[in-house]
């Protein structure tokens, strides 16, 4: 565990320093897009935080390569290099889009290219932890892997609409997933706790920790498409690295005190749970736009975070409520997986603790969501739509904070 803590702290420190540097360079050389007709913000703001985040990832993996504790991860460097190469492609595409606006078809095509590199040379979904179900063929495995990665990338990018939202949600999600992957290794009898999935989760925790101070409301810098797509790609890859290659036969339901059905589904449900809100927002947006006869990637102002603002929540309150939703759902599934402490060993079935926690937590989140502290502000129907990548931080001397929107 000490090595993982070092990885998190090192990545956070490096990312924070790089984020400050990118912010300064962006302001000095005006590396930010101008105001477009559909934008609602009034002041141009740097969106190149994803570059600093990517460099933080590279630094963390570079240090891990020199750390003998992670020799097992680098025993076959091809998957790691493929993942980093795919990440580089996504970051470059994101930076170009953040500065000059790419056509959505080009962006989607490059996402499939990056996901294909991961599937062909990195990691694949070979099995689903559902009753020993395996993927029928190599092409089916590659296709399923690509689809899962592209789905999560866009889901994370779609919620990039408020100061600190994506960084905080991904911080919580990766924190829960790190605990899950760490415990899973222990319970499956592995001889080492060091693996690619846990390393990636630790690196992402550090990246989000390092970036969040500059991205907190009112934000000075945004991660842009480069950062959001990178987080989605690495989160999906981390989940595939552990869940998609897990032999469910080695999980003994009696050890965890769960029914065989629930015990089989937990390893696949928890990775979905940690990105549930992004996936929900993505699904709703696609259905809403296609029902209106529009492209699923056409911009609008009806994302979940926009609806929170329309209810009367402030930007900071809306972000904190999103954090709460993410933590409640993710921790509920984690509690279903974890064996209970000895003083609660009498509870049967033991996964009931996770269900109770989830029900109480969801009820509390519903109350917070539906009872905003501020007054509801009507939305101007004629207001221009904004794209999923649009962000609206304040420059250093601005006095009125402006929301980042998607």
Tokens 């979905």 -> residue: 272
The answer on pLDDT for 402 being more than 80 is no
Per mean pLDDT, which range of 83-92, 110-119, 256-265 is the poorest? 256-265
Q: Are 50 and 91 in contact (CB under 8 A)?
A: yes
pLDDT of residue 273: 74
Check residue 362 and give its pLDDT.
92
State the DSSP code for 68.
Answer: G
pLDDT higher than threshold 70 for residue 257: no
Residue 279 pLDDT grade (very low, low, confident, very high; cuts 50, 70, 90) = confident
pLDDT value of residue 38: 43
Please state whether the peptide bond connecting residue 61 to the residue before it is cis, i.e. omega within 30 degrees of 0.
Answer: no
- Helices and strands in the chain: count of H runs, count of E runs: 15, 2
Alpha carbons within 13 angstroms on the beta-carbon side of residue 172 total: 25
The mean-pLDDT minimum among 170-174, 295-299, 373-377 falls in 373-377
- Is residue 19 within 8 Å of residue 49, measured between CB atoms? yes
Least confident among 10-24, 183-197, 286-300: 183-197
Task: Give the count of beta carbons closer than 10 Å to the beta carbon of residue 284.
Answer: 15
Neighbouring CB atoms inside 10 A of 37's CB total 5
Average the pLDDT over 75-88 and give the result: 96
What pLDDT score does 256 carry?
43
What percentage of the chain carries pLDDT values higher than 90? 43
Amino acid 304: pLDDT: 80
Rg (CA), the chain: 21
What is the spatial distance between Cα 241 and Cα 198, in angstroms, rounded to a whole number?
Answer: 9
pLDDT-wise least confident of 61-70, 347-356, 392-401: 392-401
Contact 259, 286 (CB under 8 A): no
Q: What is the pLDDT of residue 388?
A: 42
Range with top average pLDDT, 62-66, 341-345, 346-350, 400-404: 62-66
Least confident of 7-16, 125-134, 368-377: 125-134
Closest CA to 400 of 221, 220, 218, 162: 218
Q: What is the pLDDT of residue 250?
A: 53
Average pLDDT over residues 53-63: 98
Non-local CB neighbours of 136 within 8 Å, separated by 6+ positions: none
What is the pLDDT, as a whole number, of residue 133? 57
- Structure token digits, residue 37: 């007709």
Lowest mean pLDDT: which of 182-196, 314-328, 381-395?
A: 381-395
- Whether the pLDDT of residue 298 is over 90: the answer is no
Beta carbons of 328 and 358 less than 8 angstroms apart: yes
Q: How do residues 132-155 score in pLDDT, each as one tens digit?
A: 556 656 888 899 899 999 999 998
Contacts of 255 (CB under 8 A, 6+ apart): 187, 339
Local structure of 133: helix, strand or coil:
strand
According to DSSP, residue 31 is labeled: -
* Contact yes or no for 36/21 (Cβ under 8 A): no
Mean pLDDT of the 378-398 span: 42
Q: Check: CB of residue 326 under 8 Å from CB of residue 280.
A: no
Name the pLDDT band for 130 (thresholds 50, 70, 90): low
Each residue of 312-349: pLDDT tens digit?
888 889 899 999 999 998 888 888 777 777 777 776 76
Residue 251 has pLDDT above 80, yes or no: no
What per-residue confidence (pLDDT) applies to 119?
A: 94
Nearest to 406 by CA among 152, 154, 102: 154
Question: How high is the pLDDT of residue 82?
Answer: 97
Burial 384-402 (b: 16+ CB within 10 A, else e): eebbbbbbbbbeeeeeebb
What is the overall mean pLDDT for the chain? Answer: 81
Give 272's pLDDT tier (boundaries 50, 70, 90).
confident
Q: What is the mean pLDDT of residues 41-51?
A: 80
Over residues 102-112, mean pLDDT: 93
Q: How do the residues of the chain divide into helix, strand and coil, expressed in percent and rounded to 5?
A: 65, 0, 35
- Bond from prior residue into 349 cis (ω within 30 degrees of 0): yes
């Amino acid at each position: 565990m000490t090595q993982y803590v070092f990885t998190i702290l090192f990545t956070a420190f490096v990312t924070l320093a790089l984020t400050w540097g990118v912010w300064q360079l962006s302001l000095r050389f005006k590396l930010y897009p101008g105001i477009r007709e559909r934008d609602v913000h009034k002041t141009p703001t740097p969106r190149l935080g994803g570059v600093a985040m990517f460099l933080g990832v590279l630094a963390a993996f570079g240090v891990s390569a020199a750390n003998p504790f992670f020799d097992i991860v680098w025993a076959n460097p091809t998957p790691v290099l493929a993942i980093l190469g795919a990440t580089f492609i996504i970051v470059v595409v994101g930076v170009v889009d953040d500065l000059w606006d790419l056509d959505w078809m080009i962006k989607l095509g490059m996402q499939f290219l990056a996901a294909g590199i991961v599937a062909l040379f990195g990691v694949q979904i070979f099995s689903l932890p559902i009753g020993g179900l395996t993927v029928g063929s190599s092409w089916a495995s590659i296709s399923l892997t690509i689809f899962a990665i592209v789905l999560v990338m866009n889901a994370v990018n779609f919620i990039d609409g408020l100061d600190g939202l994506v960084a905080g949600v991904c911080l919580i999600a990766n924190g829960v997933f790190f605990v899950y992957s760490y415990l899973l290794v222990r319970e499956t009898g592995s001889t080492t706790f060091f693996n690619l999935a846990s390393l990636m989760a630790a690196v992402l925790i550090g990246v989000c920790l390092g970036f969040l101070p500059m991205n907190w409301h009112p934000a000075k810098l945004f991660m842009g498409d480069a950062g959001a797509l990178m987080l989605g790609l690495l989160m999906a890859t981390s989940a595939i690295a552990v869940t998609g290659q897990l032999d469910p036969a080695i999980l003994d339901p009696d050890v965890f005190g769960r029914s065989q059905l629930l015990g089989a589904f937990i390893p696949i449900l928890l990775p979905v749970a940690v990105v549930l809100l992004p996936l929900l927002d993505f699904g709703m947006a696609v259905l809403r736009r296609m029902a209106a006869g529009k492209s699923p990637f056409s911009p609008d102002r009806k994302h979940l975070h926009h609806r929170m603002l329309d209810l009367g929540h402030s930007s900071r309150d809306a972000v904190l409520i999103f954090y709460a939703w993410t933590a409640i759902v993710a921790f509920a599934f984690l509690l279903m997986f974890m064996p209970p402490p000895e003083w609660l060993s009498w509870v049967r079935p033991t996964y009931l603790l996770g269900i109770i926690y989830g029900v109480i937590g969801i009820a509390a989140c519903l109350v917070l969501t539906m009872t905003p502290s501020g007054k509801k502000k009507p939305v101007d129907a004629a207001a221009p739509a904004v794209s999923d990548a649009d962000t609206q931080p304040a420059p250093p001397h601005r006095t009125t904070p402006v929301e980042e929107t998607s």
